[in-house]
Structure 1
């Protein structure tokens, strides 16, 4: 029986950018992130690709054809493919709040359009066989809470407009379930927002570090599943909680980040606090990475969905000294290989 070769194993480039900057550590260049990814190897297995942050300093959202081809060439030179793209929809990067003024919402949609153009060109260049465009609401939960019903309608309308634009380029949009984004900061709230969008090309981007925080009700106490002062040694209760969240969100899931979390929140630079991304071997990690990934990659009967063609490791806000160590990426790759061994499949080339 051949080794599983799907889902493809990707690293994320954006940990070199997110949480970095003048009020934190310097960004790590895309060339360095690609090099670190390409050099990782465990028992002869290497990363298949990386997911890309479509914003400076990694890839200018206004890149011309030459700039996009240059990025494709960088990937191809290291025998890597490119997967999902993050659209820079935030105010500081040219976007705006999805529930803001008409101008802010137009800016949001414009950034999605630019990311979709890049995504399609990378597909046409043959370097991006799968992947989606990742978005969030670009607004905090406190602002959303001032008018949950009205603000959810606004976010859904903005997402709907963005979906219609994305459809013109053959792209789907994945809304990230992260507790720092309004309208997406609780698991039930996230489902409500997705349902309100009502477009076939909207979906959910699950990140194991972020979705674990859904169980604890951070920023959405009324959606807490695990009791306060939860005893993390109670694996059975944790598993049931994970099953509850994944049952609600798995049908929407079109993009998946493998990650570890120690049950706390963390933020660095200008990034609000959200689920802490821990190293793959962190002894304080609360997840059994390989086993718990199965809640997302298998249906309620334990059958592989095969919907997710590539999985991505997200190590956002890792310190630079951690990211510059080859062992970090070998440990991550090792964890992802275990996920694929348990929940993957083989397709003939």
Structure 2
């Protein structure tokens, strides 16, 4: 039997704080008060990843009513078509579910260190959550402003795609390393990698699209920026004095379609394929990145034989390295 204290006593207090009041409405009542058909409300909740509730389950508050009204308003204003609403709400649900799980774990771990965990968790909810909410709003607004400038620039040329450098960075030997670590050690190792990678990407003006287990997908406006990010990470991974894990990377440059925070298209596929065939500690680039960087004296390339990979019978990779001095040349 676990000797961990029971924190369920704090649940009602925390839930009431987060939702503004204790649940007092059924899903039927919420839909009626919001003036939204129940089938639409159910679809929204399902897209958000919320569990199903029976018609007589008292599981909702006035906040749910307001959320449905706001969604209806956005549709009436023409901002959200049914298709866009589904995509947006689904993205919200996935993103916030992951964030909520991490934040809840963090608060619970801190609470368990106190003599009275229930009181500590309640106190943390009242003191920490307002600050977290404010910071999340700030981060969202900053990213929204940055995304708006990029998106409007693309829309101004009338194309859904824009030229970007796409880079995958993959940890070498992740499977064997993960088997030798405890759960806590594995989480700490991955979080350390993600934290260091985020810093490198930000330092060079790139943007992380997502972390996929032992892999990071990022984009940059220029091939040079992506090259510096990839070369910096592989150099750190090859340094025995650096805790950064050994990695391999693939960089491709070309038109990319951006949608709901993700990226799509052949350029993304090429970067992924290049990463899959890269040797540990190396950076492979495609023809597009090669041609863009070829005139830069900072880099040197090594032409590899065409490599068959899934979807590309004759993928042409180039090994990218920093040049010690002078103009970069092909080896």
Shorter-normalised TM range: under 0.3
Q: Which has the higher contact order (CA 8 A, sep 6+)?
A: 1
Q: Which has the higher strand share?
A: 2
TM-score for both structures, normalised by structure 1: 0.24
Q: Which has the higher helix share?
A: 2
Larger radius of gyration: 2
